[in-house]
Amino acid sequence: MDYLFTENQKMIQELARQIATEKIAPVAAHYDETEEFPWPIMKILSESDLFGVYIEEKYGGTGGGAVDLAIVTEELSKACGGIAVCYAASALGTYPIILYGNEEQKKKYLPDLAAGKKIAAFGLTEAGAGSDAGAIATTAKKDGDYYILNGTKQWITNGGEAQIYTVVAITDKSKGPRGASAFIVEKGTPGFTFGKKEKKLGIRASTTNELIFTDCKVHKDNLLSREGSGFIVAMKTFDQSRPGVAAQAVGIAQGALDHAVKYAKERVQFGKPISSFQAIQHMLADMATQTEAARALVYATARLVDSGAAKISKASAMSKLFASDVAMKVTTDAIQIFGGYGYMRDYPVEKYMRDAKITQIYEGTNQIQRNVIALELIKESLSK
Ligand code: COS
């Protein structure tokens, strides 16, 4: 399929593909095994100017948008979903600054993020606030020119490794979701420490960590937008970032499919390569069709985001829902094609399945995506 990428987008795609094939694929199993943060790969992505593909040129980026970010994320995910999310989660942490930062905040933070000199993370989730994002308990109490943050964020991708964090905390409990506010918090701020590094099923190259705030003083200049807008900052951020998770899912699915096709041609049973059996051919055909349909939805959604359309929540949720379910199905079928070998860690496909699972969960479970889609459908029908 031709997604009518611009010349620049094709160049970005080629560059990301080359890095994925030459630099990431050979070390994907190593990072999965050791769970080390892939700083050497982050350095390569930074030197290749890929961190700034969705950031405006005046802040040091290359001026693209959600399509460019999806292209890079998809290509990296074909080789390793875990390494790809280290890259993509930096965008998740950066979006609140792009969407809601004032000029000073943008000038201060975006150039280093665009250059990949620093990476970002997004701190919303807490032990008691996963799907119910409005239930966060971390507080930010105004004290003169500062806000004093107290509380613990859980399961933060890039936690501990990132230098810049966008964090949502409650400034006025009585107002419910309207009482949350978003802040930029730098690593090294007194009172800001990291807790437990999680051991995970998949995306093991990425770090998932607790953020602990203990009387952490954050200057009021680091408040994003205004007090009370934190929930909206989070929701609008997800509207932008969910096609990125979907792109990760498409890359994971494609990576598993490519391995499955190669293996099916090599594996001989009953005197023939198993690719000559219709049972295998039909599985491969379904995997390829589902992956392409997911890709079409991802790039259509990313284009909608880049068009500046006001209403993107539904498309964004649909792309994540569909692509992540496809990734889970395609990676599971890839293991089936590999048979017993697919279940072994010596072969690459079981990792794709482990990496795929999280795409149905993070940045909103697929049950939450269905809620978002249904609510938008009902709202649309009311306005007709
Ligand atoms: N854009 C703009 N505004 C939005 C919005 C969006 N995408 N989504 C919600 N809002 C607004 C609502 O319009 C509402 O505004 P009012 O107070 O003016 O009515 C407000 O935000 C609260 O919305 P709502 O009542 O729908 O909030 P709920 O607490 O019911 O939660 C869901 C809504 C479940 C959709 C939200 O909590 C959510 O997205 N949860 C998943 C969180 C998530 O993705 N976590 C994973 C983190 S991994 S980084």
All structural domains of the chain, each given as residue ranges with its CATH number in brackets, are: 7-118 (1.10.540.10), 121-230 (2.40.110.10), 231-383 (1.20.140.10)
235 C-alpha to center of ligand 1: Å? 6
Are 252 and 203 contacting, i.e. CB atoms less than 8 angstroms apart?
A: no
Q: Is the pTM of this model over 0.85?
A: yes
Q: How far apart are CA 157 and CA 94, in angstroms?
A: 13
pLDDT of residue 149: 98
41 C-alpha to center of ligand 1: Å? 34
Residue whose CA lies nearest to ligand 1 atom number 5: 235
Question: For residue 206, which of 198, 196, 214 has the smallest C-alpha distance?
Answer: 198
In the residue annotation, 363 being an active-site residue is answered as yes
Q: How far apart are CA 169 and CA 230, in angstroms?
A: 7
Residues of the chain with pLDDT under 50: none
Question: For residue 312, which of 263, 243, 361, 229 has the smallest C-alpha distance?
Answer: 243
Residue 162: CB atoms within 10 A of its CB come to 26
pLDDT of residue 176: 87
Where does ligand 1 bind, in terms of residues with CB under 6 Å?
122, 124-125, 131-134, 177-178, 231-232, 235-236, 238-239, 313, 362-364, 368, 371-372
Residue 184 forms beta bridges with which residues? 166
Q: Give tens-digit pLDDT for 75-112.
A: 999 999 999 999 999 999 999 999 999 999 999 999 99
**Which residue of the set 74, 75, 210, 363 is catalytic?**
363
pLDDT of residue 154: 98
pLDDT of residue 177: 86
Residue in this structure with the two tokens 């994971």, named with its chain if needed: 252
15 Cβ contact partners less than 8 Å away, ≥ 6 residues apart: 48, 50
Looking from the CA of 107 toward its CB, the CA atoms found within 13 Å total 4
pLDDT of residue 107: 98
158 C-alpha to center of ligand 1: Å? 23
pLDDT of residue 93: 98
Q: Give tens-digit pLDDT for 269-328.
A: 999 999 999 999 999 999 999 999 999 999 999 999 999 999 999 999 999 999 999 999
